[in-house]
Amino acid sequence: MNLLKATAQLDKTHIKRIIHAIGTPSKTVYPPSEDSFLMLQALSSVEMNGLTVCDVGTGTGILGLFCAIQGADVTVTDIDETALQATLAAAKRLGIVVEPILSDVFASVNGRFDLALFNPPYLPGKEVSDSAVDGGPDGLTLTRKFLKDLPSQLKENGHGLLLLSSLNNPRKVISQYREFSFEVLATKQIFFEELQVLDLRLR
């Protein structure tokens, strides 16, 4: 992927430093991809300084590191220990601190946050052979877990950023969670699908 093209609308100084610190991820860790960059695009409209942020399914840590480098107090979670180790190594290279928690979505996370992020595994399929990308039969198993627990993980006036694909019928999904209002912060057409980043707030 052409990283400069993918990050065209972003603050390249931070992104370049983070990509450099991440280096080449191990094969099991999801590498920064189009969906990660769309999340970064949405995140770049958020003033980070002083926020508490939970980056769920952090992978290489790209999203959480982007928040932390701008002054947010960041917790990163993943079901994959290797991903947390990769994130911690990158944080160390950047000279920043993030708190890692090995967790199934929010299951082992205590506390409430100003902002919770999730770029979930969303590919539909009968089998989950790669937990970084496979999201169960309709692709929404992890997204539903996130949406179910999000209200109890947010501070008052907190919000969530969630990536959805047209493969997951985003309008239908969100209509099933009436406790949230939502705004589409960023969209991108890639190959056979459209990606969207939703900003979710409790009504």
Ligand X SMILES: C[S@@+](CC[C@H](N)C(=O)[O-])C[C@H]1O[C@@H](n2cnc3c(N)ncnc32)[C@H](O)[C@@H]1O
Q: Which of residues 82-101 bind ligand X (CB under 6 A)?
A: 83
- The site for ligand X, by CB under 6 A, has a size of 24
Q: How far is the CB of 106 from ligand X (least distance, A)?
A: 8
Cα distance between residue 134 and residue 142, in whole Å: 9
Q: From the list 104, 148, 175, 187, which residue makes contact with ligand X (rule: CB under 6 A)? A: 104
Burial class of residue 98, CB neighbours in 10 A (0-12, 13-18, 19+)? buried
Per-residue contact string for residues 168-197; x = within reach of ligand X by CB under 6 A: ------------------------------
Q: Is residue 131 a contact point for ligand X (CB under 6 A)?
A: yes
Q: Is residue 59 a contact point for ligand X (CB under 6 A)?
A: yes
Q: Is residue 36 a contact point for ligand X (CB under 6 A)?
A: yes
**Residues 6 or more apart whose Cβ sits within 8 Å of residue 181:** 200, 201, 202, 203
Q: From the list 25, 30, 136, 140, which residue makes contact with ligand X (rule: CB under 6 A)? A: 30
**What φ, ψ does residue 117 adopt, rounded to 5°?**
-115, 145
For residue 101, how many other CB atoms are within 10 A of its CB?
A: 17
Per-residue contact string for residues 132-171; x = within reach of ligand X by CB under 6 A: xx--------x-----------------------------
Task: Choose between 107 and 181: whose C-beta lies nearer to ligand X.
Answer: 107
Please count the helices (runs of H) and the strands (runs of E) in the chain. Answer: 7, 7
Torsion sign across C-alpha atoms 16, 25, 81, 56: positive
Q: Is residue 58 a contact point for ligand X (CB under 6 A)?
A: yes
The label of the residue with tokens 């920064």 reads 32
Cα distance between residue 70 and residue 35, in whole Å: 21
The residues that touch ligand X, with contacts defined as CB under 6 A, are 30, 32, 36, 39, 56-59, 62-63, 77-80, 83, 104-105, 119-121, 131-133, 142
